[in-house]
């Protein structure tokens, strides 16, 4: 049963520390999205990639966040330095481009980040 895999599932860190979240998209999917979910803001799009190329990262605070896809099986989201306001659940989702099937996104289980 193919699924999107995210690590870590839970991370507690102190303000100022670097945090790296990893995502393994479903094999064959060519689009990857990173979302952040908080009670106040709901689901916010941080970045998305198509065929490993970043297409939109306008939702990401550029001074501290970075997202990359070093290869087709790995997407990373890095926060450096982390701040308490970064505390949230970070979701990775993958899918095909909209030209194939329904184009729905398949979500990972999320990485819960707590910055103290």
Partner 1 sequence: AQKITQTQPGMFVQEKEAVTLDCTYDTSDPSYGLFWYKQPSSGEMIFLIYQGSYDQQNATEGRYSLNFQKARKSANLVISASQLGDSAMYFCAMRQFTGNQFYFGTGTSLTVIP
Task: Give me the residues that bind partner 1 (CB under 8 A), please.
Answer: 31, 33, 35, 42-43, 45, 48, 50, 55-56, 89, 91, 93, 97-99, 102-107, 109-110
Other CB atoms within a 10 A radius of the CB of residue 110 amount to: 19
Closest approach of partner 1 to the CB of residue 72, in Å: 17
Tokens of 27: 């094999």
Instruction: Please say which residue, 42 or 70, places its beta carbon nearer to partner 1.
Output: 42
Contacts of 21 (CB under 8 A, 6+ apart): 6, 7, 8, 11, 76, 77, 78, 90, 92, 111, 113
**Which of residues 9 and 18 has its CB atom nearest to partner 1 in the complex?**
9
To partner 1, the closest distance from the beta carbon of 31 in angstroms equals 6
CB of 43 to partner 1, least distance (A): 4
The encoded tokens of residue 30 equal 């060519």
């Amino acid at each position: 049963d193919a699924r999107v895999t995210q690590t870590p599932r839970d991370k507690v860190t102190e303000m100022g520390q670097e945090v790296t979240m990893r995502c393994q998209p479903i094999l064959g999917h060519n689009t990857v999205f990173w979302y952040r979910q908080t009670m106040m803001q709901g689901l916010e799009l941080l970045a998305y990639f198509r065929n490993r190329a970043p297409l939109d990262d306008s939702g990401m605070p550029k001074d501290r966040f970075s997202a990359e896809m070093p290869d087709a099986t790995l997407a990373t989201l890095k926060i450096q330095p982390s701040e308490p306001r970064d505390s949230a659940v970070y979701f990775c989702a993958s899918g095909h481009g909209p030209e194939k099937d329904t184009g729905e996104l398949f979500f990972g289980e999320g990485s819960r980040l707590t910055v103290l």
